[in-house]
A = this chain, B = another copy of it.
């Protein structure tokens, strides 16, 4: 058994790809459609071991994010340039406290999903 992907529904594919590829550095590796209903886009990192699937439904439906789902997390080698880029873009963010064991920042993707960016290399 292998972990394969996490699927999230999104409202604006270009905005999501701008966030996950343009800002975070994922790459698109596959795109498909389910008839006229939906577009599915698979993103991954340079290891290509796990994927993020974006589902865009064409009917313009809206969604409720709810309070149950947690977040998606990403590792970077250096957090400081990421925080500088977030500040340059004027996004909301929440940083780890100086006394925290790990150094991270939380931002929100275009659909409001919480995204954690971690400097510490580990889990």
Contact = CB atoms under 8 A, between A and B. Distances in A.
Interface residues of A, number: 45
Interface string A1-20: 11111111100000000000
Contacts of A26: 1, 3
Contacts of A111: 68
State the majority secondary structure of interface residues on A. strand
Contacts of A98: none
Contacts of A76: 1
B53 A4 contact: no
A71 interface: yes
A92 interface: no
A15 B9 CA distance: 26
